[in-house]
Amino acid sequence: MPQLNPAPWFLILVFSWLIFLALMPPKILTHQFPHEPSTLTAHKPKANSWTWAWQ
Amino acid sequence: MTMNLFNQFLSPTFLGLPLIAIALMAPCLLYPSPAPGWQSNRWTTLQNWFIGSFIKQTLSPINTKGHSWALLLATLMVFLITLNTLGLLPYTFTPTTQLSLNMAFAVPLWLATVIMGFRNSPTHALGHLLPEGTPTPLVPILIIIESISLLIRPLALGVRLTANLTAGHLLIQLVSSAAFSLLLSQTTAASLAVGLLLLLTILEVAVAMIQAYVFVLLLSLYLQENV
């Protein structure tokens, strides 16, 4: 099985961790979540009934 | 014959240069970073929603100390799911079929959770090796068994991802080569094979996403145990 060939193992480890640590996190960090409610404090706002103000 | 089938998993090189580096860059190239001044487009909004809901789901069972792992788990999820799903395109190379890559992620991350557990609360971490309520004669054997199961976790983590993706790709190659060779002589058999190939491809899309999720989920579980 060519996956068990030990030759590129260290190189693959180095490349993958390099990309995983240096290139990917900045892309994830630039995402902002300004209005995300926390799961603990989520509450349903009281529903007010609403009627059309017909003349 | 077997060597010919496994050749698709050979780590590609061109004039001695490993091309797996280019394959690994694909997730970085596909996700444009949202700029602070601009309104997000559809792709950015989709990424934002995905990362937000994934992190909410993953981190809610973990206590606040473990929340520092959020960036790592989010990055890992996006990385793995992109690599897995891109590999389903014809003639693309899937880096996650390489045992070296999966072990390179599984072993350090698992070891990090274990070391964290042993540093912060060594008694609690050692306590995981003995389930509550075991009868006294069974205690030594059970400690050995639980230690083995602890040590086998990184191996299982890496091999699970490798084996699932390798098996899927191999099946696709087998069925598609069967369909192709039967195309002219026995067309009905070939059409059955094409139908099977369609179902298999749908399965492989699901497997690609599920296996990436399972990898990250298990890591979050190991973190939860140790934090």
Q: How far apart are CA B72 and CA B74, in angstroms?
A: 6
Of A1, A4, A30, which is closest to B34 when you measure between CB atoms? A30
Which residues contact residue B38 at a Cβ distance below 8 angstroms, ignoring those fewer than 6 apart? none
Average pLDDT over residues B49-61: 93
Are B75 and A20 a contacting pair at CB < 8 A?
A: yes
Of B50, B227, B208, B209, the C-alpha closest to B125 is B227
Structure tokens that stand for A43 in this block? 């509450």
Q: How far apart are CA B222 and CA B58, in angstroms?
A: 12
* Share of residues in chain B with pLDDT > 70 (%): 99
Whether residue B208 contacts residue B86, with contact meaning beta carbons closer than 8 Å, is answered with no
Q: How far apart are CA B113 and CA B119, in angstroms?
A: 10
Which residues contact residue B19 at a Cβ distance below 8 angstroms, ignoring those fewer than 6 apart? B11, B12, B13, B93
Q: Which residues of A touch B169 (CB under 8 A)?
A: none
Q: How far is B33 from chain A (nearest CA, A)?
A: 5
Whether residue B20 contacts residue A9, with contact meaning beta carbons closer than 8 Å, is answered with no
Q: Which residues of A touch B36 (CB under 8 A)?
A: 30, 32
- For A9, the closest chain B residue by CA position comes to B100
Q: How far apart are CA B106 and CA B96, in angstroms?
A: 12
Distance, CA of B65 to chain centre: 25
- For B44, the closest chain A residue by CA position comes to A31
pLDDT band at residue A42 using 50, 70 and 90 as cut-offs: low
Structure tokens that stand for A38 in this block? 């926390």
Whether residue B19 contacts residue B12, with contact meaning beta carbons closer than 8 Å, is answered with yes
pLDDT tens digits, A18-41: 999 999 999 999 998 877 666 666
pLDDT tens digits, B94-122: 999 999 999 999 999 999 999 999 999 99
Count of CB pairs separated by less than 8 Å, A with B:
93
pTM over 0.80: yes
pLDDT tens digits, B177-202: 999 999 989 889 999 999 999 999 99
The torsion angles phi and psi of B18, rounded to 5 degrees, stand at -75, 125
pLDDT band at residue B220 using 50, 70 and 90 as cut-offs: very high
